[in-house]
Amino acid sequence: SAVTSYAAVDLGASSGRVMVGRVGRGTLELTEAHRFRNRPVHLPEGLRWDILSLYTGVLDGLRAAGPVRSVGIDSWAVDYGLLDADGALLGNPVHYRDTRTEGIAEKVWATVPAQELYAATGVQYAPFNTLYQLTAARSTTEFARAGRLLLIPDLLGYWLTGEQGTELTNASTTQLLDPRTGDWSYGLARRLGIDLSLFAPLRRPGDPAGLLRPGVLARTGLTGPVPVTAVASHDTASAVAAVPAVGERFAYICTGTWSLAGLELLAPVLTEASRAANFTNELGLDGTIRYLRNIMGLWLLQECLREWDDPDLPALLAAAADAPALRSVVDAGDTAFLAPGRMPARIAEACRTSGQPVPDSPAEITRCILDSLALAHRRAVADAQRLADHPVDVVHIVGGGTRNALLCQLTADACGLPVLAGPAEAAALGNVLVQARADGLLGDRADMRRLLTRTQPPTRYEPRGDPASWRAAESRLATP
Ligand code: LFR
């Protein structure tokens, strides 16, 4: 029977990939056409994305992908490029881990208190929210010259097609959108002096987003017309769309550089308790709410591996599995771990100041990180259920972290719930499925998820051990 190919461009914090999804009647296959590194650059002015090399990776990937029905792009959230009046990029996009936003939130809160900001946008505090980045950028000469702001996937889409737009799921991470209306929060922008005409018009997942330019067709060897389809361009939104869940009583954890842990809801939770617990209400597919908390994720381990000159990972994880459990834990939700560098030392410091044994060997530090992540997953899953009054029976883990069996098992143990792990390439799959749906091959979200459960069966982890040990570990951390 007929099979249609779609190209999914999926950019993560440490690598980018172009995947080809083949969708048929009841079939779904994903293969990797091209993978390339994403290496941020430390310049005198700060930490920047190497966006031109990412664009080159996208073009190389589209060439490797071969003939496709359409192209979709997703990436990390909040970051953007600025264009001048001629549509040319002004400078390298600033990395969300750059230090320019230090102390900025407090300035914003002096105009609009944090409580009001949350009531209007439902977005959790993170120093790198686009709103704070824009506030930090406002006094620069570059910003003065800017006529347009494009979020990262929209910027790459613009270079591929010549057309500009602002995709909705990613726009919801700017902290300038009202999650109840799915439109900009005009009043908030006015109070904060942010000119919303910087943004290109909003578009929704599934909307057409232009055709590959002749120059792009020539460079990739593709034969036109090849449309670009707006997908859920925030990678986490694409990943949540690809959670192979049945029914509604599930929590999810999208694991990779970050852990994004929470629920899919039909309405935002904008209560003061929710703000205090630092839960965000980002937009998902079809007007759903991604009610979740950002947890530092495997970034903690990635940064240690870098410091340790990339040791053999399977051997390290095996040693970590044998290391004593829950000896010391850190708060994996703490933004103190946001910046790069000195991660083993910073973790040791956190253990020392909280009066716990200081992990020393790479195996001990790795165990501390994975226990801490599982503990943070437990807290987020429990808090989300309580704050949203939405109980769950199962935790789905998707993304790169599903390859880490120890993390999946510890998460099941900590949550006291079965974990269903996989698919690893959830963001790319969600990207492909939204394109296939726009193409008429699939129906609603449940239809997409049925195809996933059939074609990407997850691995099951049953909870083990005594939940009391996790409660005890939890009490060793100061509550946020
Ligand atoms: C994950 C992610 C998170 C977002 C963070 C920064 O890749 O998109 O959802 O909070 O990156 O953009």
pLDDT higher than 70, residue 287: yes
| pLDDT the model gives residue 1 | 67
- Taking only the tens place, the pLDDT of each residue in 156-187 is 999 999 999 999 999 999 999 999 999 999 99
Question: Of 254, 52, 61, 237, nearest to 152 (Cα)?
Answer: 52
- Taking only the tens place, the pLDDT of each residue in 42-74 is 999 999 999 999 999 999 999 999 999 999 999
Q: Which atom of ligand 1 is nearest to the CA of 128?
A: 6
Q: Quote the CA–CA distance of 400 and 425 in Å, as a whole number.
A: 7
Cβ(230)–Cβ(240) under 8 Å?
no
| pLDDT the model gives residue 19 | 98
CA 386 to ligand 1 center in whole angstroms: 24
Q: Is the CB of 260 under 6 A from ligand 1?
A: yes
**Structure tokens given for 426:** 């959830």
Q: Strand 41-43 relative to strand 46-48: parallel, antiparallel, unpaired?
A: antiparallel
- The secondary element (H helix, E strand) that includes residue 262 is strand 259-265
Cβ(281)–Cβ(268) under 8 Å?
yes
Q: Quote the CA–CA distance of 382 and 261 in Å, as a whole number.
A: 10
Strands of 70-75's sheet in order across: 27-37, 15-24, 3-11, 70-75, 227-229, 208-211
Read off the pLDDT of each residue in 115-124 and give the average, rounded to a whole number: 97
Angle at CA of residue 90, ends 41 and 126, nearest 5°: 60
DSSP state of 465: S
| pLDDT the model gives residue 476 | 87
The residue whose CA is least distant from atom 9 of ligand 1 is 236
Number of Cβ within a 10 Å radius of residue 419: 27
CA 371 to ligand 1 center in whole angstroms: 22
Range list of H helices, 2-145 = 51-65, 104-111, 114-121, 130-137, 141-145
Q: Say what the ipTM of the complex is.
A: 0.98
- The secondary element (H helix, E strand) that includes residue 299 is helix 299-307
Angle at CA of residue 93, ends 150 and 89, nearest 5°: 60
478 vs 229: which has the higher pLDDT: 229
Task: Say whether pTM exceeds 0.80.
Answer: yes
Cβ(48)–Cβ(41) under 8 Å?
yes
Q: Quote the CA–CA distance of 156 and 55 in Å, as a whole number.
A: 7
Read off the pLDDT of each residue in 108-125 and give the average, rounded to a whole number: 97
The residue whose CA is least distant from atom 7 of ligand 1 is 76
Sequence-ordered list of residues with C-beta below 8 angstroms from that of 19, at least 6 positions apart, any chain: 7, 8, 10, 30, 31, 32, 33, 425, 428, 431, 432
CA 76 to ligand 1 center in whole angstroms: 5
Confidence of residue 480 (pLDDT cuts 50, 70, 90): very low
Sign of CA dihedral 284, 333, 74, 3: negative
Cβ(403)–Cβ(424) under 8 Å?
yes
Crossing angle between the packed helical segments 405-415 and 362-388, to the nearest 10 degrees: 40
Whether 322 is catalytic:
no
CA 236 to ligand 1 center in whole angstroms: 7
Sequence-ordered list of residues with C-beta below 8 angstroms from that of 356, at least 6 positions apart, any chain: 327, 328, 329, 476
DSSP string, 106-120: HHHHHHS-HHHHHHH
Read off the pLDDT of each residue in 196-210 and give the average, rounded to a whole number: 98
Confidence of residue 224 (pLDDT cuts 50, 70, 90): confident
pLDDT higher than 80, residue 479: no
Q: Which atom of ligand 1 is nearest to the CA of 254?
A: 1
Exactly one of 10, 79, 235, 371 is catalytic; which is it? Answer: 235
Sign of CA dihedral 95, 424, 175, 211: positive
pLDDT higher than 70, residue 88: yes
Q: Cα(first)–Cα(last) distance of the chain, in Å? A: 55
Read off the pLDDT of each residue in 197-215 and give the average, rounded to a whole number: 98
In 272-422, where do the E strands start and end? 280-283, 289-295, 394-399, 419-421
CA 232 to ligand 1 center in whole angstroms: 13
Read off the pLDDT of each residue in 215-236 and give the average, rounded to a whole number: 97
Read off the pLDDT of each residue in 75-85 and give the average, rounded to a whole number: 98
**Structure tokens given for 64:** 């490797």
Q: Is the CB of 236 under 6 A from ligand 1?
A: yes
Pocket test for ligand 1, best of 14, 95, 258 (most atoms within 8 A of CB): 258
Q: Quote the CA–CA distance of 35 and 307 in Å, as a whole number.
A: 23
Q: Quote the CA–CA distance of 121 and 101 in Å, as a whole number.
A: 19
Q: Is the CB of 49 under 6 A from ligand 1?
A: no
Sequence-ordered list of residues with C-beta below 8 angstroms from that of 316, at least 6 positions apart, any chain: 362, 363, 366
